[in-house]
Amino acid sequence: MQKSEVTEDDWMVWDVINSRGQVFVDEIKIHELIQEILPDTSWEIFQDILLNLYEVGLVRKRQTHDERYMYQARSKETATKLQSLENHEFEIYELIENSERKGISKTDIQKQIKLVQSLVESSLKNMQEQKLIKEVKPKTKKLYMLFDIKPHDESLSRLLYTNGEPDTFVVESLKSICYNFIYRRSFPRGMDEDAIFYPNYNGYVTLSKVVQCVQETKVTEIEIEEADIKQILDVLIFEGKIIKKFISNVDPNSMKTDDNRSDSQFVYIAKRARNINNAWTQAPCGRCPFFENECTENGEISPSTCIFFPQWLNKAINMIQNDDENEKGKDTLDW
C-alpha cells in the first residue's frame, strides 16, 4: 500500500466518518458534515482527502448504483497494519473484508484475484500473522474473514456441537429454560388460566433478562452470549411457543439497530399452553372394549346403533362451536 502522509485536514475528515460508527456514509453527506470544521474545502480538495484516506487504509469505500461512493472508517491500528501490505495483499484483504461474517474461501479468492496459489497462500499467512484476518471452519471448507468479527453461524455452532458431535441436549435444555422463564412471566399467577395482564403491563421479559436467567443456570460450560439466546428464542418463535412484541414506552435514545429498534425495545411473551386433546381425539370408539373385534356395521353392536357416539358427537359439536366463540375449548368429554 501507499505510505502517504496524513494531514491535519485528513484526520478531521476521518474523525467525521469515524463518528458515524460502523456504517457507510455517503460522500455527499460527509462533505456536508465537514463544512462546519473545514468550510473552505472544495469538492475537488475533499475528493483528494478521501483518496488519501483510502490509500493509507484509514477508510474503506463502496460504490453505489449511481456511481457515488460511500465510506466507512477503519481503526488507526488496522490502517497501520495495512500499510505494510503489498498491493496484491491489500486486494485480498478487501475481498475478505467485503465478505463480512460469511467469509470467503481460498478458491474464491483465487478466482476473483487471479493470482497463483502460492502467492495467495503466502498473503493469507502474512495477514493471519498480523491478526488482520483469521481462518474458520464452520462446515467442511476453510473460510477467511476479518480477525475481529464473529462468523455468521459461530454462535449456533458452539451450542449445537461438542467436540464435533451434535449436542441436542444443550439446545433442548436452553429452549426449555428460556420457554419456562418467559411463560412464568407472561400470565398472572394464582388466577383463572385465561387471565392476562392489563394492556400497559411492563413486566414482560426482554432478551437481556432471558440471557441473565440462562447464565445463572450454568446449563453449559460454554459462555452464553446474547446472540446465542437470540437464536434460541427465534427457534421458539418459529415453533409457535412464544411471540416477540415491540414496546414503545422506552427511552428513544436507546435505539441502536438499523431499523431504529434495539433489543431492549422488544419483549417476549409465551403463548398459552393448551391441552393437546380435543373433542375429536376423545371419541368413545377409542376406549370402547367392543370396537376392535365386535363392532361391525351389520353386527349386534354397530356404529349406527351405538348409544354413546351420538351423545359424544353432539357434545363435540357444541364444544367446537364454543371454541370458535371464546377460544376456550377446555371441556372434557368423560365416558
Going by C-alpha positions, the residue among 24, 158, 145, 2 that lies closest to residue 86 is 2
Are β-strands 242-246 and 266-270 bridged in parallel, bridged antiparallel, or unpaired?
antiparallel
- Position 71 scores a pLDDT of 95
Digits of tens for pLDDT over the chain (335 positions)? 666 789 999 999 999 999 988 788 999 999 999 999 999 899 999 999 999 999 999 999 988 877 889 999 999 999 999 999 999 999 999 999 998 877 889 999 998 988 899 999 999 999 999 999 998 875 567 889 999 876 655 545 555 555 545 567 777 888 889 999 999 888 888 776 677 787 778 889 999 899 888 888 877 666 777 878 888 898 898 888 999 888 755 444 443 443 444 566 789 999 876 554 544 445 556 556 555 566 776 776 776 677 666 666 666 556 655 655 554 444 444 43
- Position 334 scores a pLDDT of 42
Give 59-62 contacts, CB < 8 A, sequence gap 24+: 59/14, 59/17, 60/94, 60/97, 62/24
Which segments of the chain are extended strands (E)?
25-26, 59-63, 69-73, 133-136, 143-146, 161-162, 165-166, 242-246, 266-270
- Position 283 scores a pLDDT of 54
Tell me the residue type at 76.
K
Are β-strands 25-26 and 59-63 bridged in parallel, bridged antiparallel, or unpaired?
unpaired
Tell me the residue type at 234.
D
Crossing angle (nearest 10°) for helices 87-99 and 106-113: 120
- Position 189 scores a pLDDT of 81
Greatest Cα pair distance in the chain: 105
What are the distances in angstroms from CA 154 to CA 120, 124, 138?
25, 21, 7
- Position 120 scores a pLDDT of 93
Name residues whose C-beta falls within 8 Å of residue 308's C-beta, 6 or more positions apart in sequence: 284, 288, 335
Say which DSSP state 266 is in. E
Instruction: Catalogue all structural domains in the chain, each as residue range(s) with its CATH number.
Output: 8-76 (1.10.10.10), 85-146 (1.10.10.10), 161-250+261-270 (1.10.10.10), 281-307 (no CATH)
Tell me the residue type at 36.
E
- Position 255 scores a pLDDT of 38
- Position 162 scores a pLDDT of 53
Rg of the chain, C-alpha, whole Å: 31
- Position 231 scores a pLDDT of 83
Q: DSSP letters along 74-132, please?
A: PPHHHHHHHTTS-HHHHHHHHHHHHHGGG-B-HHHHHHHH---HHHHHHHHHHHHHTTS
